[in-house]
Amino acid sequence: MSSHPSQIAAGAARDRLPVTLPRLAEMKRLGEPIVMVTAYDFPSARAAEEAGVDMVLIGDSGAMTVLGYPSTVPVELDELLVLARAVRRGLRTPFLVGDMPFGSYEVSDEQAITNAMRFVKEAGCDAIKLEGGGPASCARARAIIGAGIPVMGHVGLTPQTATALGGYRAQGRTAAAATRVAAGALALQEAGCFSIVFEAIPSDVAELLMRRIDVPVIGIGAGPATDGQVLVFHDLLGIREGLGARFVKRYANLQDEMVAGVSAFAGDVRSRDYPAPEHGYSIEAQELSSFRERLT
């Protein structure tokens, strides 16, 4: 089987300069919304590039969306690095962040730095993301930043530790819980994170917290007050079964389109309507006659 790459043209995307840390800080200062999506392979990276998004995350959500795991916990660093290298090959302008998977940074600062470096050296990531705002996560973030790698923090619903949080559910819905989310966000900022993800926390809590956060905040299920928004590629395009989380807005239903397309193909094959003459290659009559003679 062969595939011929198409030349995807989008003038606006081509004219954009690469997004940098100073640019992200400037966007926050100017109140320009920051657009972030996840990507897990070359085609999704090309879509993000041509759509002109500002940031791309190689999310550990790829464990579920493309690798078939039941949660983000089982995915290995080497598996995410394969996805990250494919995404890097498809991007030119968005700021690229690699998601540190569960078990790749919790043990020690040395482990965290070593694995963060792999995202940069082997996959060309501009930064990494890690979950949690507790003392251990903040210590790891500080160590990685000290090694020269930018770190994005993540508070609220942290899928890698969802079991300890009572499952995939919104966080910060009581004063005490909201205070814990705030403490984690402020600690990550103090540790030097260049940006923080707020996931699945009440909109009013996020709005109040924004007054205390000086770095760009990317929301997912955290309301409109954050500096930007992120959605999982497969969620926003409907490349999945089920409705997804409350905060997901579907902008397409590609799963249905893919099923319909494959079903149509299967039907054409079984009815022998495919391939038709126009899908085949020809050979000159003289060459065919010569070939026939060689077979006898």
The whole-angstrom separation of Cα 256 and Cα 254 is 5
Contact 194, 177 (CB under 8 A): no
The whole-angstrom separation of Cα 209 and Cα 226 is 9
The whole-angstrom separation of Cα 119 and Cα 97 is 9
Residues tagged active-site: 199
Compute CA 68 distance to the chain's CA centroid, rounded to the nearest angstrom.
16
Amino acid code (one letter) for 148: G
Amino acid code (one letter) for 292: R
The secondary structure of 80-99, three-state, reads HHHHHHHHHHHCCCCEEEEE
Q: List, in order, residues 6 or more apart from 228 with CB less than 8 Å away.
A: 27, 33, 34, 35, 36, 54, 55, 216, 217, 218, 219
